[in-house]
Amino acid sequence: MKDTVIFCWSGTGNCLDMAKNIAKALGGADIISVRKKPEVTDVRAAKRVGFVFPCHGGGAPVDFLENVKDLQIDKGSYVFAVSQSASYPGTGLAELNKIHPLSYWKAITHQCTCIWLFPHFVQVPPIGAKAAQKRSEHLSKKIAKDVMAQKLSKKDPGAFFLNAAENKAWPTILKLKAKQFKVSDKCIGCGQCAKICPRENIEIKNGKAVIGRNCVGCLGCLQYCPTHAISLGKVTDRREHYTNPNVTVAELTSSQLHI
Ligand SMILES: Cc1cc2nc3c(=O)[nH]c(=O)nc-3n(C[C@H](O)[C@H](O)[C@H](O)COP(=O)(O)O)c2cc1C
């Protein structure tokens, strides 16, 4: 086990890209996926333990907190977390802090991957797509520097009550949204969406993807579809798709990466 272990949840690559960049800037780290139950749970040997995850619907993505709750982290380890969002971090950091007390945390923004809501280039601050990626890479180095220096956050991450209300309603919103998935005749039955889905909610039947209702809302299936055969509601077909340019499907679906 490397000195640094980073647990990462990523739907469309932004958080995994950041975890990889932090790992590189630290001189190496083990990155463990928590999109599903993690393969490694006992990290008491690690000096530094990190978490990188996005904000979904006002809080941590579905399954994230559940998947990290049983991790064994040494009391003396330096624990850091980064939450990414398009505009506001929501309750994720505050909820994580209750499970694994954080020495240091950062909330940063990147492009919006929720393209049924906004075009992907929308983010706060409003900067272009290329600039957003550059900013993310710059911030990764800055965060790694802080982690190496064992910088401590002065206060606990807070949780705005409206985000908490939004996040409480999120599972219901996801269930309603899941009914709107459509797979068009452009589907070639390649199975990439089924491979990407963290909940195994997609099957290939008679050469075509069939999407169930057990959806976490990451949009990986829709965004990574090579023929853009998957839509969600009326708007996603008209919007440019987005996945982080530096993360491959193989990396996203790997249970562990060693940098
Ligand atoms: C379904 C969904 C819900 C999201 N909800 C929020 C939100 O409530 N607030 C926000 O600021 N960003 C929200 N985002 C934007 C993501 O947090 C942001 O794009 C992040 O960089 C995505 O990381 P990933 O590519 O690693 O999945 C949402 C994205 C998705 C796909």
Residue-wise pLDDT tens digits, 133-164: 999 999 999 999 999 999 999 999 988 899 99
Number of domains into which the chain is organized? 2
Q: Is residue 50 located within the same domain as residue 103?
A: yes
55 lines ligand 1 (CB under 6 A): yes
> Does a structural domain hold residue 55?
yes
Residue-wise pLDDT tens digits, 42-97: 999 999 999 999 999 999 999 999 999 999 999 999 999 999 999 999 999 999 99
The pLDDT score that the predictor gives to residue 49 is 98
> Does a structural domain hold residue 170?
no
86 lines ligand 1 (CB under 6 A): yes
How far does the centroid of ligand 1 lie from the alpha carbon of residue 90, in Å? 10
Task: Tell me the pLDDT band of 174, cut-offs 50, 70 and 90.
Answer: very high
Average confidence (pLDDT) over 2-27? 98
38 lines ligand 1 (CB under 6 A): no
> Does a structural domain hold residue 103?
yes
> Does a structural domain hold residue 169?
no
> Does a structural domain hold residue 237?
no
Of 109, 3, 96, 98, nearest to 47 by C-alpha is 3
Q: Domain range spanning residue 189?
A: 177-232
> Does a structural domain hold residue 172?
no
pTM above 0.85, yes or no: yes
User: Distance (Å, rounded) from C-alpha 104 to C-alpha 229?
Assistant: 41
Structure tokens at 60: 């941590």
Q: Is residue 48 located within the same domain as residue 103?
A: yes
217 lines ligand 1 (CB under 6 A): yes
The pLDDT score that the predictor gives to residue 95 is 98
Cβ neighbours, 10 Å, residue 257: 19
Q: Is residue 113 located within the same domain as residue 27?
A: yes
Q: Whose CA is nearest to atom 3 of ligand 1?
A: 56
84 lines ligand 1 (CB under 6 A): yes
